Structure 1
């Protein structure tokens, strides 16, 4: 198993009112970004369903310079109707994300939970303050 030091949270940069299914995200990553598979290990749709992406044993493709030692989680959303950054997580997504993070915390107890923005300040992703929200997890 890889050594995991980071659990990185992302958003799909999908505006409110628009949908991006896990399969659509996977196809975008394969056909437009040239990846072998979806770049994330987990993808959470607005209904709160957690979709498995890459196996946690495999290196992701979600955060430059940090993929080899991280797990990537993405939630569907992250933009308001005008395309501006916004925390658009539904209650179902919030609950699923928290449950997933608790599960991953057991498996990777020393990993830090961070947002993409924490590693690349030029990005707004995931459009909420992960480190503050999950500090006590």
Structure 2
């Protein structure tokens, strides 16, 4: 990895409840979790992120969102704990890449393939953002896919006798070798049988 970071323009667009999320010290953050939105566009991802789902008046959201044109938006400051990966939120930053994934049939056993590739602009933005985060967060050492960390299976929506993976993102089209080579982080894959 080069010592010089590529430019990383970020549009700050905090979620309405961002100030209600707990704060943390930068030294507590050692992990980035890669996600895809599994939604058709950034507008719908924003709508989902704004939904209040917790008694604290907050919802589920990543910290950063990368649109198909490579633009990077920050919905939650990385020094706040966002709800994006069960069991890993206090130590991690979540990066969401706009991609349809399995939308709209996330848990239908007949529709588990993820067909949409990531754009070159998205991957370039991911790499630039990771390099910026490494400069801002000195304890950052690990990276994982949501699918690496949340390995739960749930009943399929079309046949409850069958199960499907709860999370499959960022999915098979995410170029792990390219990203790992460029970012200098180690992939964390605890107990993933997939």
TM-score normalized by the length of structure 1: 0.80
In the TM superposition, 1:93-108 aligns within 5 A as 93-108=122-137
Which segment is superposed worse, 69-78 or 104-113?
A: 104-113
Unaligned 5+ segments in structure 1 are none
Whether contact under 8 Å (1:7, 1:112) holds in the other structure is yes
SS at match of 2:128: helix
When structure 1 is superposed on structure 2, of 114-123 and 27-36 the one drifting more is 27-36
Which residue number in structure 1 is paired with residue 180 of structure 2?
A: 135
SS in 2 for 1:135: helix
Alpha-carbon offset, residue 114 of structure 1 = 1.0
Whole-Å Cα distance in 2 between the matches of residues 118 and 130 of structure 1?
15
CA gap of 1:100–1:120, structure 2 versus 1, over 3 A, is same
Unaligned runs of 5+ in 2: 1-24, 104-110, 152-164, 184-194
CA distance in 1 between partners of 2:59 and 2:77 (Å): 10
Contact 2:53-2:60 within 8 A present in 1 as well: no
CA displacement 1:68-119 (0-9 Å, x = unmatched): 1100000000527977324521111011111101111222344201111111
Within the alignment, does 1:25 sit opposite 2:45 as a pair? yes
What displacement does 1:124 show? Answer: 1.1
The alpha-carbon distance between structure 1 residues 37 and 113, as it changes in their structure 2 partners (threshold 3 A), is same
What is the count of residue pairs matched by the alignment? 132
Change in 2 beyond 3 A, CA 1:94/1:57: same
CA distance in 1: counterparts of 2:169 and 2:146, whole angstroms: 6
Larger mean Cα displacement after TM superposition, 78-87 or 99-108: 78-87
Asked if the contact 1:45–1:93 (Cα under 8 Å) also holds between the matched residues in 2, the reply is yes
Conserved 8 A contact 2:31-2:141: yes
Higher RCO, 1 or 2 (CA under 8 Å, sep at least 6)?
1
Residues 108 and 130 of structure 1: CA distance in aligned 2, closer, same or farther (over 3 Å): farther
TM-score by length of 2: 0.59
Which has the greater radius of gyration? 2
